[in-house]
Amino acid sequence: MEKVLMINYQKCTGCRLCELVCSVMHDGVSNPARSRIKVMKWEAEGLYVPMSCQQCEDAPCMNVCPVKAISRDEDLGFVMVDYDICIGCRSCVAVCPFGAMNYNSIDKKVFKCDLCGGDPQCVRFCEVNAIEYVDAERLSIYKRKDAAERLSVAQKEAGALQAAM
Q: Which residues bind other proteins (CB under 8 A)?
A: 10-17, 20-21, 24-25, 27-34, 41, 43-46, 48, 105-106, 121, 124-125, 127-128
Q: How far is the CB of 63 from other proteins (least distance, A)?
A: 29
Q: Are the C-beta atoms of residues 21 and 125 closer than 8 Å to each other?
A: yes
CA–CA gap between residue 54 and residue 134 (Å, rounded): 13
Q: Among residues 35 and 55, whose Cβ is nearest to other proteins? A: 35
Nearer to other proteins, 28 or 66 (CB): 28
DSSP 8-state class, residue 83: T
CB contact set of 138 (below 8 Å; sequence gap of 6+): none
CA nearest 142: which of 134, 153, 130, 154?
134
Closest CB to other proteins among residues 40, 141? 40
CB of 10 to other proteins, least distance (A): 5
Minimum distance from residue 93 beta carbon to other proteins (Å): 16
Distance CA 106, CA 109 (A): 8
Please name every residue paired with 135 in a beta bridge, in sequence order, or none if there are none. 3
Of 48, 38, 148, whose CA–CA distance to 101 is shortest? 38
Query: Could you tell me the smallest distance in angstroms from the CB atom of residue 85 to other proteins?
Result: 26
Task: Pick between residue 69 and residue 126 the one whose CB is nearest to other proteins.
Answer: 126
Q: How far is the CB of 140 from other proteins (least distance, A)?
A: 21
Which lies closer to other proteins via its Cβ, residue 59 or residue 101?
Answer: 101
